[in-house]
Structure 1
Amino acid sequence: MRTAAILVSLCVPMVSGCTLFSPVRVDTRTEILSRIPAQLPQGRARSASLLVLAPTTSAVYDTTQMAYAIQPYEVAYFSQNEWIETPSRMIHPLLVRTLQGTNAFSAVLVPPHMGRFTYALQTQILELKQDFTSSPPALLLALRFQLTRAGASEVIASKEVSLRESMRERTPYAGAVAANDAMANALQQLAEFVLANAG
């Protein structure tokens, strides 16, 4: 009987210790950029093909962490909210789907395509963060597009798109919704830019 009591007294601290020192599980919410314009401009059919390169990203946004700012010149990251993929991985298929939707090219290609193509599109992600320094808060999205001709690597045209999309609430999810709205706007401008410059 005494042995059983000793074993119980030893087990109780061990069980309570496991409760006290086990890491607290925190569920992380993941968001995605997936919206493209509902109505895309339609270009005349041409025999040209377009290679859409994966976007490049400044180091501060080359992460699944969702960036925000509560004061100027600051970038911080949410601890319980993140993107499902890096911005480059999310945005690349959106670029492709948008340009396919214009029906203006014989083919819209992606790396590692090794064959011939007529044009190449390069995209740089300059900014993607939630800005809480203003009221209402806003999602800031900035992209740079550059269209080049294959072979000579001739730069035909470039365009920078900088958008500020108001957020409905001061929450990470509201920022993700605003990011999708801003992305659709940016893609609409991309389609118009490419169609205007790819002769």
Structure 2
Amino acid sequence: MLTANSVPADTFKRSYLLDIPLPTIPPANPTGKTLLVSMPKAAPGFDTPGQVYIRTAYQLEYYSKSQWVDTPARMLLPLLVHRLEVTGQFQAVLSATTSTIASDLRLDTEIVRLQQEFLTYPSQVRLVLRAQLLDMEARQVIATQVFEIVENALSENAEGGLLATNQAVARVLKDLAAFIVEQVTKIRRVLEE
């Protein structure tokens, strides 16, 4: 009979979460618009729970004993929703996985890159996120932005990549929220004119 004690320790995979501090959500803005955050997409090679790294350009590799608990895109959705709720700009921020209600605005995102790069020392995590804000009533794109965040890893391994990834995610969410608030403010000004 095989027990946990009889299996060599190096056969177990470690599974990691995207885990960042989540601020308290203020009351909803009753005069704000509703925002639907669609399920983030990921570019080919990055739509996997595998923790990606590169040692040479153009060649993706995956840690054999470390992985994400789910794909980074799926783990990003609740963090996006929460960070946008914290802005206090919206009547409601809805998640595409839990809501079928029509909304005023929709946010589409795509992870273009999320990789630990061993091209420099210390290694770095690069997160590239494309965001597109759409007006659902007018059926048009309001704004598109690409965010690129690079964070140094604290150690040259999967755990160092994990910590740098969490820092990169926190930064990109802050930048994305500021971008969305700026766009919503522009919309509000146009409507007031």
Counterparts of 2:163 and 2:24, CA distance in 1: 19
Structure showing greater Rg? 1
Cα-Cα RMSD: 2.4
Name the structure 1 match of 2:87: 102
Distance 1:57 1:63, change over 3 A: same
Name the structure 1 match of 2:33: 48
Counterparts of 1:93 and 1:53, CA distance in 2: 10
Which structure 2 segments of 5+ residues have no match? 188-193
Counterparts of 1:146 and 1:187, CA distance in 2: 14
Counterparts of 1:147 and 1:46, CA distance in 2: 19
* 8 A contact 2:78–2:95 mirrored in 1: no
Q: What letter is aligned with 1:48?
A: K
* Structure 2 residue 159 is matched with structure 1 residue 182: no
Q: What letter is aligned with 2:19?
A: S
Q: What letter is aligned with 2:138?
A: A
Aligned-residue offset at 1:27: 0.8
Which structure 1 segments of 5+ residues have no match? 1-17
1:92-111 per-residue CA deviation (whole Å, 9 max, x = no partner) reads: 00000001111111111122
Aligned-residue offset at 1:71: 1.2
Distance 1:44 1:116, change over 3 A: closer
SS in 2 for 1:179: helix
Q: TM-score, normalised by structure 1?
A: 0.82
1:13-45 per-residue CA deviation (whole Å, 9 max, x = no partner) reads: xxxxx9xxx9867010111112157599xx976
Q: What letter is aligned with 2:61?
A: A
Q: How many residues align?
A: 178
Q: Of 103, 108, 129, which aligns to 2:115?
A: 129
Q: What letter is aligned with 1:74?
A: Q
* 8 A contact 1:52–1:121 mirrored in 2: yes
